[in-house]
A and B are shown apart, each in its own frame.
Chain A
Amino acid sequence: MAKRGSQLADKISIDMTPMIDVVFQLISFFMFSLKVVAPEGDFDIRMPLGVAAAAAPDDQQVPPVRVKLSAGPGGELAGIAMNGTPVADFDELRSRIIALVGTDTGPNSLADRAEVELDCDQELRYVNVVRAITAVSGKIQDGQIVELIKKIKFTPPKRG
């Protein structure tokens, strides 16, 4: 093969400066507009006004599971009760719910029709409500969410 030694050195030099300027502008734009957001999720609460009292009882309707959350003097959780019987903690509440509705969560199953009514003390810290909703609305099994009761409502607030 022929050797073409010194001719290769005559390359056309491109001026990189504008490109690098633009690229750095882009980087700084994306860097400053970056917002670190924690993933968030929702729990549905269905509370149409007045329907609870007006709805006629039919045979499809199961009586709501009443979960009472009592608050201590500082707003901390003092006690949980399900349908009037005391429950030790949220894990026990979840197993009671599973015992009540079973593991069948398909359409028109008991878990699908059942409803939980949360009766919370006014002073209770809200974090306990979310823990109670987490306990009744599902469980984690092998990394998968198994849904339990999805219909959740609050009792009307009692003003003392």
Chain B
Amino acid sequence: MAKRASSGPSTTDIDMTPMIDMTFQLITFFMFVMNFSEAEQDDRIQLPLSQLAKPVEGAMETPITLQLTQDGSVIYAGELISVRDIGGYLEREKAVMLDAGKEPNSATLIVRADGRAKTGEVQDIIRICQEKGFERFVLRAQYDEGR
């Protein structure tokens, strides 16, 4: 076989600079829009809109999220349970808090209820939480930028 030593590897040089520029731009973009918040959200819940529901700054002390679906079941920690069963879960939550030396009334119950759910069910959730000693409630709504 003939050897083509010196004339051999004549590779075409591609200029990588623009591609790397763009790629780093993309990385920076995705890094900035990345959300590290642990906020519990669920696609099954369609929150009611409100113009006054401005996003909250800062973290709450011991947030407990209860999500009420349209048909009246509760999503707690990713599990679908019925409204009547939340008492047991809250009891466990309360025991954990007492173990950590916190009072249950320092926790904030975040109620993410679907706009089509019945008000009576939201009130049931609040009543059950009250019976377990929780006092702080927030009703979550989606911020409505329009109009």
Contact across chains for B119 and A13 when beta carbons are under 8 A apart: no
Our pick among B13, B16, B115, B120 for the contact of A157 (Cβ within 8 Å) is: B120
**Known contacts A46-B135, A49-B135; A125/B116 CB under 8 A:** yes
Selected interface stretch from B43-51, B74-82, B85-93 = B43-51
Query: B24 — which chain A residues lie within 8 A by C-beta?
Result: 23
Query: B34 — which chain A residues lie within 8 A by C-beta?
Result: 30, 33-34
Contact across chains for A131 and B130 when beta carbons are under 8 A apart: no
With CB as the reference atom, state the residue of chain B lying closest to A121.
B119
CB of A155, distance to nearest CB on chain B (Å):
9
Task: Type the 1/0 row for B52-74, where 1 means its CB is closer than 8 Å to any CB of A.
Answer: 11111000000000001000000
Contact across chains for B52 and A42 when beta carbons are under 8 A apart: no
Contact across chains for B55 and A40 when beta carbons are under 8 A apart: yes
Specify which of A40, A46, A120 lies most central, judged by the most chain B CB atoms within 10 Å of its CB.
Answer: A40
**Known contacts A121-B119, A124-B119, A130-B141; A48/B53 CB under 8 A:** no
What total count of A-B pairs have CB within 8 Å?
Answer: 161
CB of A117, distance to nearest CB on chain B (Å):
13
- Decide if the interface of chain B is mainly helix, strand, loop or mixed: mixed
Our pick among B20, B110, B123 for the contact of A42 (Cβ within 8 Å) is: B110
Query: A157 — which chain B residues lie within 8 A by C-beta?
Result: 120, 123-124, 127
Task: Type the 1/0 row for B4-29, where 1 means its CB is closer than 8 Å to any CB of A.
Answer: 00000000010010011001101100
Contact across chains for B116 and A126 when beta carbons are under 8 A apart: yes
Task: Type the 1/0 row for A115-158, where 1 means its CB is closer than 8 Å to any CB of B.
Answer: 00000111111111111011001101000010000000010110
Q: How many B residues are at the interface, by size bracket?
A: 35 or more
**Known contacts A37-B41, A38-B143, A122-B119; A31/B54 CB under 8 A:** no
With CB as the reference atom, state the residue of chain B lying closest to A159.
B120
A-B contacts, 7 listed (Cβ < 8 Å): A24-B23, A38-B143, A39-B142, A41-B55, A42-B140, A120-B120, A121-B120
B residues lining the A interface (CB < 8 Å) = 13, 16, 19-20, 23-24, 26-27, 30-31, 33-35, 37, 39, 41, 47-56, 68, 105, 110, 113-120, 122-124, 126-127, 130-131, 135-143
List 9 additional contacts besides A40-B55, A122-B119, A145-B52; criterion CB under 8 Å.
A30-B31, A34-B30, A42-B56, A43-B52, A43-B141, A47-B137, A126-B114, A133-B139, A157-B123
